[in-house]
Amino acid sequence: MDVYVKLKKNGKNILLAICDANLLGKTLKEGKIVFKITNEFYKGRKISVDQAVTMIENSTNVNLIGNSCVKKAIENGFVHPEAVIKIEGISHVQIVK
């Protein structure tokens, strides 16, 4: 599975945005939640989910949207399963270090 990753650096802070490639450009809605998966925030390099998850180690803030990338982050010990929310059945999580 491929994902899009985008890095934004601001001083010592490194924001990493990861989304499953098939979700880019979509809007998820559930109850009062409206989650836009925009090109501006998420579209960067297209790489494998395995490569993307290794980038979490060196990031201070991480935003993940997509069942594939969130599952891989859980498998690699970066995310606790109970921290995940679902929006229209799609996994979303944020990591702040």
In sequence order, what DSSP letters do the residues of 5-51 get, joined into one string?
EEEEEETTEEEEEEEEGGGTT-EEEETTEEEE--HHHH-SEEEEHHH
Longest dimension (CA), the chain: 36
| Number of structural domains in the chain | 1
Residue 63 is part of a domain; what is its CATH number? 3.30.1860.10
CB 27 within 8 A of CB 87: no
Domain that holds residue 81: 2-96
Residue 6 — pLDDT band, cuts 50, 70, 90? Answer: very high
33 contacts: CB under 8 Å, gap ≥ 6: 87
* Mean pLDDT, rounded, of the chain: 97
Question: What are the pLDDT digits (tens) for 27-50?
Answer: 999 999 999 999 999 999 999 999
